[in-house]
Structure 1
Amino acid sequence: MRPLTLWRYEMLRAGWAALLGPPIAVAVGVAAALANPVPGDATTARILLGALEMAVPLAAGVACASLVGRDPAIELQLTAPTSYRVTLLRRMAVTLAWTAAVAALTAAVLIVTGWWARWPANHGPLAGQLTWLAPTLGLSGLGFAAGAVFRSPAAAGALVTTLWAIQQFFAGSAQEHLPGRLLYLFATTRGTVPGDWAANRLTLLGAAAVLTVLALVLLGRSERLVKEEDE
């Protein structure tokens, strides 16, 4: 199979959630900004950046949570020359690449139009890209690892959305202690302790790497996958 054909196939196998989730997330954010009842450029800019920091990562996390358990006849997958975990890692890669393309294009539009700079805590056009990148990778790593543990897209997706909702509705409690602040997903638009933003973004990136490695280790145990298929 040619490389381009292979990657196109993996994108299709990743599912419609991976394809449509990020654009819909951005569209919802833009619609919310247009319908904003509170006047002021800063508030509108916060909503637009919030779409990148909140909605896009949720879409990516749910998409990555659905990667494990989508393939029928898992025994055939396990006999292929390419290991199943490499196949899933490719699908995660194309999911994140598409998400990054949508988020980066949206960020570029906000920068060019001036909306990016109208949010006081924007952290600049370069380092500020961690606004969406860090939580996207963090939730995606969590979703991928949850999929490997539960082997159920529904259960893994529920874990991702539950964590997202908890941090949304209990933002104050999540930031009372340093571990909670370092793992808080919305430090740009919902705020954090001054000086903690960079550490928060790097912690989320590190957590994403650890969770992805954990998922690959679990997916390397083929007996777990075969047992799930038999059940």
Structure 2
Amino acid sequence: MTLPSAFRERLEQMEQTRNQRLSLLQAEKELQKGKSQLLATKISNIKSMEQRCLKLDCKIAYQHFVISSLKSQIDSHDSAYLRKLQKFRTLKKEVEGLEELEKKKEMYYSSQSCEMEEFRAQVDSFVDKCQVQVKKLRSQVNELKSSFSELQGNLNCSNNSQIAAAEMKKSELLVMKENLDNKLASNFEVKQQLKKQLISILKDEVKKRKRHLIKA
């Protein structure tokens, strides 16, 4: 049976249209497949970027932790520095006070040393004068002894009153000699005590300076 030409043309058109649609569907399918692959690639890239972002977040969090730790250490060092600075200032004031006190002590000891030296010079001068007086008195006593011996040897020219006066003079001279000897002994003891006190003061001063140097 022969189909009409119009119907056959219609069928051919429909077949052609179907083939075109199939081609379009295939092309659309390929396009969707390409889009799906592209989307999958993008999704993979996004996941990779998310992983990188997560790693970067971890690094940033670690850096924040390190910065926080360093900041805490800096604050601790600053606090320690301020404490040491305050302690240094306090010690500096104490050292300045000790230096001022040391100057006053040195001035005082210098003054006392000068007074001690003057006193020692006075004592030495007094001792020298006393020794000269003792020598003179001894010489006078010897002269009196000699005169007394001469008076005793010459009984014809002697006089009881003169003998008594000579004896009294001798006694007075002996008393004066004894007093001078006592004064000399007393001055010698005072001189020795002053020497001991001066040595003790100097030793104490040396010990104090050593302690100050050790503390410094």
TM-score range, shorter chain: under 0.3
**TM-score for the superposition, normalised by structure 1:** 0.21
Please identify the structure whose Cα radius of gyration is greater: 2
Greater helix content: 2
